[in-house]
Every structure is written in C-alpha cells, then in structure tokens.
Amino acid sequence: MKRLIPVLLWWLALAPFGWAQSGPSGTSCNASIVYDASTNGSTRLVVAKATGPIYVCGYTLNSTAAVQVKLVYGTGTTCGTGTTALTPAYQLSPVVADPSPYFRGMVVPPGKDLCINTNAAQPVQATVYYSQLP
C-alpha cells in the first residue's frame, strides 16, 4: 500500500494535463496552420464548418518588425463580417508564444472562420494549434 500512494499522487498531479487535451466534446487538438506573410489586416487561417467549433489550443507569433498581431474570428476570407477578437493585439518584438498542445477554452463558434490580423504590412510568422470536428 505504501508503494501505491506515491504512484497515485504522481498520477493525480499529472491528470489535469491529460484532461486539458480535450475540448468539451472530447476533441484532441491535433492540427496546426502556419502563416508566413507581410499582409495588413485579416487573413483567414482555418475555414469554418457549419456544424462544429474550432478549438484553439495555442499559438506562436513572431516578427522582426514592430507590428501588432491578434487572432480573430468572423466570416469571409478576411473575417470581415462579425469580427471578434480571440486574443489581444500583441505588440511583437520579437516573439509571443503560447504553444500549448492542450485545449484550454479558446473556441471559435460554428460557422465562423479563424483569422490572423496584423496592423501593418510587416513580415509575421505564426503557428496556430487547433482542432475542428468533422
């Protein structure tokens, strides 16, 4: 029994990390999209599905220039209709990272596209980790 207690405590300490991998519907975040461009405004990263949300797990944003970058959602190729911020506008200089592979509650509603938005035509590199139900 004394050997079992440390194993049980170890398992309980790590369990929340495993639970965090799943969205409300048991979805694992298992996809990523890369953005590498110098656009000004919003660019669609993930196309919406009408029947399910997009679960965003994490992201890495990088630029060698002074530029503000945020993740938004909306409809259309630039998320121009119903645009809503998922993250604040980060002032990149040079890296903002939240590269977690675990879902922690950032959700794009069904029917909305996931986009990246920049405030200047400066080079930006980004990787967004997500999952989307079929």
Instruction: State pTM to two decimals.
Output: 0.77
pLDDT in tens, 68-124: 999 999 999 999 999 999 999 998 876 777 766 667 788 999 999 999 999 999 999
Fold of domain 4-132: Jelly Rolls (2.60.120)
User: Residues 16-21: what's their mean pLDDT?
Assistant: 37
- DSSP string for the chain: -TTHHHHHHHHHHHHHHHHTTB-TTS-B--EEEEEEE--SEEEEEE--BTTB-EEEEEEEEE-SS-EEEEEEEEESTT--EEEEESS--EEESSEEEE--SS--SEEEPTT-EEEEEESSS--EEEEEEEEE--
Per-domain residue ranges of the chain: 4-132
| pLDDT at residue 45 is higher than 70 | yes
